[in-house]
Structure 1
Amino acid sequence: MTEVSWWQARALAGEAMGDSSGEEVPLANALGRTLASDAVALTDLPGFPTAAMDGWVVCGSGPWTIVGTIDTGASSVSHLDAGKAMRIGTGGAVPAGATAVVPFEAATVTDSRVIADASDRTHIRVQGEECVVGDVLAHRGDVINPALMGSLSAAGVDDVAVVQRPWISVLILGDEVIRAGVPTTGQVRDALGVQLPGWIHMLGGDVVSVRTCTDDPQELADALRSASGEVDMTVATGGTARGHRDFLRSTLEALRATIIVDGVAVRPGHPMMLATLDGTPVVGLPGNPLSALVATVTLIQPSFDAWFGRAQRDLPKVAMAEGVAPSSRPLTRLMVGRRELGGFRQVERVSSAMLRGIAHADGWAVVPPQGVHAHDAVPWIPVPWMRRTDDR
């Protein structure tokens, strides 16, 4: 199988997972969840004309005679006659006939009469100014943030339909990998098993198991077979290249898995894999840590986006601070960097085996094979803790 382009790999990954299912949850418990359907307003906002300021609600031209008070939370009087005024608080129900709310600081009161200069501003919020019944306040695939929770609550929503989070199993491959202590010659610390659950969680999944496997094909086969059918995706790290100790490809073939992606024209991260085993997607991440993260946003993130109903949304754009020369080969480059004044700029220490650069970066700029000029806008992939929730 020949390698595919980076964009092809993302498209294929978006088709790999099965259908997601939804559930109804109280709005108060929905923070961070993804909407399974559009959320609509159940009431007009405001639901009635309201005062936008503390002041005097008046009818007609002044001066106005004070005839009472409208308390916030109380039903409005039915009508306000010309030449009359009533004390009102912000959010109070404005009676029919009212023409303006005069802020307290803009008025003087003498002998129970309100005196104020005419103003072009009425300080009255009309019914439905923000939304009316049936308006779509958030779309399927949007992640629920605190402000959206408030918006939905104000519009009368008590419960929301959300997508159930996919279950993920992670396999850490390699005889050289140790999980604790200072590594000696020939050993490396596990830098992926400790961080992948966090990446997956922030992308929307739940890691239900992390298992370490030695470079033994039978142990790997048993682990892949055990995870298949119990989770929505299996993620394996390492073993995707073609070295004499890389067994993921041959093990998947022995298990009669369907290999969908076997190498991607991208740097870093080229030796990544995507397969299905008994209907369960298996993502193979390269062993080098930064390459593994590139594979994560190439294969796992698009799979999750499709699962959550965000597959058709374009990547956001960022302007480049500096030009990038054309590649010597037809491959996409994912440049680790930060957004600064002047545009997106690459950070230091970004080779495929390093994590120091991405740990302090905003994300990856997607640089096409032909390169880019300074100030060109290119797609970019924010790290998940900086993702926008409504990119469309």
Structure 2
Amino acid sequence: MVAVAVGNVDVAHMAWAAARDVATAVPAMGAPVKVAVDSAHGLALAKDVTATVASPPFMCAAMDGYAVRGLGPWRVVGKVLAGAAPLPHKLMPGEGAEIGTGAIVPDGTDAVIPYEQCQVEHDIVTAEPPTRRHIRHAGEDFPVGEVVASAGQRVTAAVAGVVAQSGVDVVWVTPQPSVWLIVTGDEVITSGVPVAGQVREAHTAVVAALTGRAGGVFAGRTVIGDDPQLLRQELEATSAKVVVVSGSSSAGRADHLREVLTGMGGRWLIDGVACRPGHPQGLGQTVDGRWVVSLPGNPFAGMVAGLTLLEPLVSSLAGRDPAKALRLPVSGHVGPYEHGVRLVPVTLDDRGGAVVIAGSRPGSLRAVARADAVAVIEPGWTDGAVAELLLVP
């Protein structure tokens, strides 16, 4: 596998928006595969879907009631329900036919009058002159040959439904990238009560949630000590398209990832981002084309890095269109970071804005656990100004 170039990038303390753009610019992985529409939920379409049948495929009733022609009263001369054969003859003036929603409208029909507007006695229907036709025309939703879902769209329930309506049973999708997490740190434990000097591992849930939301598959994790040889072994052992490494991201004696990846022949596209928290985060690539996302060991800083680099990277690999930015007014006290952006947890209010949650710290998830989103606060931001929001997974 050949390493994929994303462009010439300055890797030193990259601006937050530029770093996110680098992760978003990664091309989709692998050749498209065909899957049944019912099995495609959450995947990204690799090719446009073109309708093979029109919707509706014929002129049909939009309401339960009576199909009528001319002025009333109308004599009922037949009945037609959804899925049944059409009325075998054309309606004449003064005639009507009982009809169900979705049934083929008889030839000659001027309008369908809903049941609740009709009075029926001895097969004679009376009603006020109709003001609406309640008839759907063939192809009014989409004709044969129209694109009903585009490449890059995520297959939601609605997308799957419209694809099925269009007569298509299988679709081309981009394969899901797999994600493996390597947790580093001599102090990290995964269960039980920590003793002095130990901490509980807190990155797995965040990485798994971001991976799933972005369209990837969380394949699992390993936990290792602060040993560069072990780290290299784990990086070489996993076949996952994306390897996330928590910890080992800064410049301390126990932070080995930079040197290990470089020693393996890999490269760094991003080595530090101008933000607080989360500035030691990075994005690299192995010589065989796998991606490495470096997350700071502090849990909230790690989540920030996951939102900044991991989620857009996995989404891009999964072939999804870039997510639309959510921007809302943000109120509260924040000390902006003059050299980049500050990321703070916020709650959404009922006035269409967001409110800063006080007490956020890089090493704690307590504040963000109460949040709806993380606000990206630019250096020139003032209380009440608009900021970009990243929804908490």
Output the TM-score relative to the length of structure 1.
Answer: 0.90
Report whether the alignment pairs 1:139 with 2:155. Answer: no
2:164 matched to 1:153? yes
- Between the aligned partners of 1:128 and 1:142, the Cα distance in structure 2 is 23
Post-superposition shift, 1:167? 1.5
* Counterpart position of 1:46: 56
Shift of 1:102: 1.6
Taking the aligned partners of 1:339 and 1:133, their CA distance within structure 2 comes to 43
Match of 2:8 in 1: none
- The residue aligned with 1:379 is 388
Q: 2:91 — aligned with what?
A: 80
- The equivalences for 1:173-188 within 5 A come to 173-188=184-199
Structure 2 match to 1:260? 269
Moved over 6 A (4+): none
Measure, in 2, the Cα distance between the counterparts of 1:150 and 1:272: 40
Correspondence list, 1:98-113, <5 A:
98-113=109-124
Query: Given the alignment of the two structures, is residue 6 of structure 1 paired with residue 16 of structure 2, yes or no?
Result: yes
Structure 2: distance between partners of 1:189 and 1:324: 29
For residue 12 of structure 2, give the secondary structure of its aligned residue in structure 1: coil
Farther off after superposition, 130-139 or 162-171: 130-139
Matched residue, 2:105: 94
Partner of 1:223: 234
Separation (CA, whole Å) in 2 of partners of 1:83 and 1:17? 64
TM-score (norm 2): 0.90
Q: 2:182 maps to what in 1?
A: 171
Matched, 1:356 2:376: no
Q: Which of residues 266, 284, 293 is equivalent to 2:303?
A: 293
Instruction: Within 5 Å, give how 1:183-262 maps onto structure 2.
Output: 183-227=194-238, 230-262=239-271
2:322, 2:14 → 1: CA distance? 20
What CA deviation, in whole Å up to 9, does each residue of 1:335-385 have, x standing for no partner?
Answer: 2112112311122442111112222322222221211441x333222234x
- Matched residue SS, 2:285: strand
CA contact (8 A) 1:64 1:84 kept: yes
Q: Which residue of 1 aligns with 2:7?
A: none
The question of whether the paired residues in 1 share the 8 Å contact of 2:295 and 2:302 is answered with yes
Task: Tell me the CA shift for residue 183 of structure 1.
Answer: 0.4
C-alpha displacement of 1:291: 0.7
Residue-by-residue CA offset, 1:145-197 (whole Å, 9 max, x unaligned):
22332232222221222221101221110100011110011000111134422
- In 2, the alpha carbon distance for the partners of 1:233 and 1:267 equals 24
Q: Which runs of 5+ in 2 are unaligned?
A: 1-10
Q: What is the alpha-carbon distance in structure 2 between the residues aligned to residue 239 and residue 25 of structure 1? A: 39
Deviations 1:42-61 (A, max 9, x none): 32221111112211111111
The answer for the alignment partner of 1:387 in structure 2 is: none
Cα RMSD between the aligned structures?
A: 2.1
Displacement of 1:323 after TM fit? 7.1
What is the aligned partner in structure 2 of residue 341 from structure 1?
350
Per the alignment, do residues 82 and 318 of structure 1 end up closer, same or farther by CA in structure 2, a change over 3 Å counting?
same
Alignment partners' CA distance in 1, 2:106 and 2:190: 69
The 1:209/1:108 distance shift into structure 2, 3 A limit, reads closer
Counterpart-to-counterpart distance in 1, 2:346 and 2:106: 57
Cα deviation 1:37-77 (Å, max 9, x = unaligned): 22333322211111122111111111212211112211212
Matched residue of 1:320: which SS? strand
On the 8 A contact 2:26/2:317 being kept in 1, the answer is no
Task: Assess if the C-alpha contact under 8 Å between 1:269 and 1:291 holds in 2.
Answer: yes
2:160 equivalent to 1:126? no
2:337 & 2:63 partners in 1: Cα distance? 64
Amino acid at match of 1:274: L
Asked if 1:116 corresponds to 2:120, the answer is: no
Tell me if the contact between 1:262 and 1:271 (Cα under 8 Å) persists in the aligned partners.
yes
Whether the 8 Å contact between 2:181 and 2:245 is mirrored in structure 1 is yes
Structure 1: runs of 5 or more not aligned: 385-392
Matched, 1:269 2:281: no
Do the aligned partners of 1:51 and 1:88 also contact (CA within 8 Å) in 2? yes
Measure the CA separation in 2 of the matches of 1:245 and 1:17. Answer: 33
**Distance of aligned partners of 1:14 and 1:146 in 2 relative to their CA distance in 1, 3 Å threshold:** closer
Give the superposition deviation at 1:322: 4.4
Number of aligned pairs?
380
Change (3 A) 1:118 1:194: closer
1:263-298 per-position Cα deviation (integer Å, ceiling 9, x unaligned): 100111011121111122111110001111111111
Q: 1:20 to 1:383 in 2, by over 3 A?
A: farther
Distance across 1 between alignment mates of 2:253 and 2:166: 61
Q: Identity rate of aligned residues, in percent?
A: 34
In the superposition, relative to structure 1, how do residues 255 and 180 fare at CA in structure 2: closer, same or farther (>3 Å)? same
When structure 1 is superposed on structure 2, of 238-247 and 6-15 the one drifting more is 6-15
- Report the equivalent of 1:369: 379
How far did 1:240 drift? Answer: 0.8
**8 Å Cα contact 1:17/1:233 also seen in 2:** no
Contact kept, 8 Å, 1:171 with 1:210, in 2: the verdict is yes
Distance in 2, matches of 1:65 and 1:206, equals: 62
Letter in 2 for 1:241: S
Secondary structure of the residue that 1:48 maps to in structure 2? coil
Structure-2 separation of matches of 1:265 and 1:88:
66
